[in-house]
Structure formats: structure tokens, C-alpha cells
Structure 1
């Protein structure tokens, strides 16, 4: 699998699975009715931040990640990232490859750590992946997320020194 910078031409392939993931309301704090134009502007970042796609051997976009500074000013030395994998390619290492790529980017860009602000505690696959890559749960906001099936569940803040 190739991971490369995302382009505007990639958006039509990203949008269908991005939309489905957001509309499901299980893993992101985005509005469930997020429109395509807002989604594109929120996801396709410009430098110094970055958005990438994971591409299969046949050119199919398997997933995407955006990476950025978590805060501005005196907090801008901490990176953050978000990931979306097309559910058709779940369990094939796409998420892990994207996460490793973002960690490498953050390290080479001079960030001191990476922090995820809102990992839904019921997103056990993501929590397990992040922990396997050295992230720790710093704390959990109780009932910080309204899950469509599980009701109010916690949001983890996860952190990894680079």
C-alpha cells in the first residue's frame, strides 16, 4: 500500500466512506448531517498541516488521515491526527499504516508528542491500535459522547511522546 499526499481529485473517493462513518455517529464528534463542502474543508488540510490517502495496488483509496498541530501558539509543539478507513478495507492494516505514517510525520516535523482529544471509548479497535503504538489514556471525559447504540459513553484523551 502506498501512502501519499491527498489531492482535491481524491475527494470523490474519500467522501462516500467519510460520509457513512460520520453519519453513523459512532466514532467522530462531527455533526451527523455534515455536508460535503464543510467536510472537504475540514479534512483536506493545507501546509504546514497535511492530509494523506492510503492507496491499494490497483489505485483504490483505502483510507485517509489528516495530521496537524493540536493547538496554536505555545501549544503548537503537540501534533494530532484523525483517521478514516473505508469499512470495506477494515482489518487489513490500513489504519495502522496511516497511524504509523502520521507519527513519522509528526516526529520529522519537530513535534514533541501526539495527542488525540476525543477517542470514543467504545471504539475499541482504535483504542487497541493506539495503545499498541505507545499511546496512553490520560483521562476520560465521562459521558462525553452520545453513541447511537450505547448511549452516553466516555471520550478518551490519548497521548504519546515522540
Structure 2
């Protein structure tokens, strides 16, 4: 993983971020985003009001994540994140690197906890990684997600104090 660099996203990263988001959103298996979302809509969803980072190796983007306040007011000390890894980068440790970076970023930014509001239960790789890093499943929304292949599946709320 030493050749992987995490940095803040820049405007010129739009094409690379879209290249990662498009197949994930189109598959409709992990995000509650219209599978037909266009580039402008996807980038607005991913970057609007959020702190966005990317993982790169030799100038190629391999992952992206965002961090944002989960709620306003009395809930503003809890953050939320979204993660996407490029298909070609699966198994390289990109997701773990982004999670570790996001946890440190969240602490540095003054958040006291991180919460994932809607983890599709069939996304077992993500669930396992989050649990290894101390996230608890604190809620289960029965059949809250309509998976294109598996039908109605549960969504999980996962939480970790920082």
C-alpha cells in the first residue's frame, strides 16, 4: 500500500471520480442513487457540501470517499461517509486505506463518532471491513433496499465512537 496516496479531491478529478461512481451507481447494488444518474448529477451528489478525498497510484484514481456531517445542530458531532473503490483496485487495500484516512480526518475535524446510515446487508465486504474497524450494527431496516438481483434486503445502520 506504500505506493497509494490519499489526497483531497480537485476539480480536475471529476472524470476519474465519475469513472468510479458510474458503474457502482448503475449496478444499483449498494447506493440509493438512481442507476441512470448522469455525470453532473453523480458528481453533485458525491461532492456537494462534502469533504472529498481520492486514492491514487501513479496518477490513476483507485478510490474516493466523502465525509460530511450526518446531522445539523445537536447531531453535528457525528459524521457520515461514502466510499467507492475502482473495480480494478479491488483487493489492493484501497477501502481499508480510505477508512483509516476517514477515521483520522473525522477525529482531526472534531467529530466524535462516525455513522453509516444505510449499509445494504448484501454488501458483505463493506460490512466485514467496518466491523473489523470497530463499527457496530446498531439498527436494521427490514427489506429497506430493493436489490436488483436479491430482491428486498435489509439495510444496516452502523456506528462507531471516535
The two structures have a TM-score, normalised by structure 2, of 0.95
CA distance in 2, matches of 1:81, 1:119: 11
TM-superposed CA distance for 1:17, in Å, is 2.1
CA distance in 2, matches of 1:17, 1:104: 23
Q: Aligned with 2:14: secondary structure? A: helix
Q: How many residues align?
A: 159
Partner of 1:53: 54
Q: Aligned with 1:30: secondary structure? A: coil
CA distance in 2, matches of 1:110, 1:14: 27
Q: Which ranges of 4 or more aligned residues in structure 1 deviate by more than 2 Å?
A: none
Which of 13, 21, 26 is the aligned partner of 2:24?
A: 21
The Cα offsets for residues 22-48 of structure 1, whole Å up to 9 and x where unpaired, read as: 0101110111111111111121245xx
CA distance in 2, matches of 1:63, 1:42: 16
The two structures have a TM-score, normalised by structure 1, of 0.95
Q: Is the 8 A contact 1:6 1:44 kept in 2?
A: no
Task: Report whether the alignment pairs 1:138 with 2:138.
Answer: yes
TM-superposed CA distance for 1:101, in Å, is 0.7
Q: In angstroms, what is the RMSD of aligned CA positions? A: 0.9
Unaligned stretches of 5+ residues in structure 2: none
